[in-house]
Amino acid sequence: MCGRYTLRSSPQQLMSLFGVASLPEFSPRYNIAPTQQVLAFRAVDSSGWADSGVSRSSADAVLGVVRRPALLRWGLVPRWAKDLSVGSQMINARSETAAEKPSFRSAFVSRRCLIPADGFYEWEKRADGRKQPWWIHQPGQSVFAMAGLWESWIPPGGSEAIETCTILTTAAGPDVAGLHDRMPVILAAADWDLWLSAAASKAQLQALLQPLPSGSLLLTRVSMLVNRATVDTPDCLQPDRDLFGDQG
């Protein structure tokens, strides 16, 4: 699964990587948690490419995809839900069944997104019962895109929509399997536009939702501060002190 992640890159780096002209205001994040606002990239009709925050990607001519950034609440709330709290149980969606599940199938068809990150956390249960966080990242700590779905929900009796999202998961690849049996779907950059494209078939989309091969990810044992969702500072990524014999 994916219950916490990081995104420390500068706006300039992200704008260049994802091919957009501007971004919503945000700060580097070291411990992104469910129900918080997260950065995502969605597709807009290519006829609107000149809008603020939109620029053409190299695949536009083939797929008609133009990306637009957005801030979405992490934890998808289906349109038929009566309460926002449902979203806290829908931070992840299994990629194998999302296209059929009532909560996700509509979004899978027409509301897919990219959720940028440069690492995510998983936990190991220690002999003393405490949960030891590990930061899982690519070599070089580069930014990647997780496959996401988004939804627009209007509270009963309300008029203003709340936009929410979920992260798709797949079976853990060999790098992660020792910690957890699931991991977020990490899309190859060459597949970003296909994932966003309205023209993509279900078979094409499902083919993208695979674990990463061995050697794709590195695991770094980090501070127990990560266990507190309210802590979102660089200290979260400090090496765990127990590695150096400090049990305090």
The reply to whether 160 belongs to the active site is no
Q: How far apart are CA 127 and CA 144, in angstroms?
A: 33
Tokens of 83: 């309460």
Angle ∠(226,141,29) on CA atoms, nearest 5:
40
Tokens of 190: 């060459």
Residue 216 per-residue DSSP state: S
Are 24 and 37 spatial neighbours (Cβ–Cβ below 8 Å)? no
From the candidates 113, 122, 151, 236, give the one annotated as an active-site residue. 122
Q: How far apart are CA 17 and CA 87, in angstroms?
A: 29
Task: Tell which residue, 12, 74, 9, has the closest CA to residue 40.
Answer: 74
**Radius of gyration of the chain measured on its C-alpha atoms:** 18
Q: How far apart are CA 144 and CA 140, in angstroms?
A: 11
- Cβ-in-10-Å burial (0-12, 13-18, 19+) of 171 comes to middle
Task: Tell which residue, 115, 116, 112, 114, has the closest CA to residue 201.
Answer: 112
Tokens of 113: 């997104």
The reply to whether 96 belongs to the active site is no
Overall size of the chain counted in residues: 248
Are 121 and 110 spatial neighbours (Cβ–Cβ below 8 Å)? no
Active site residues: 2, 122
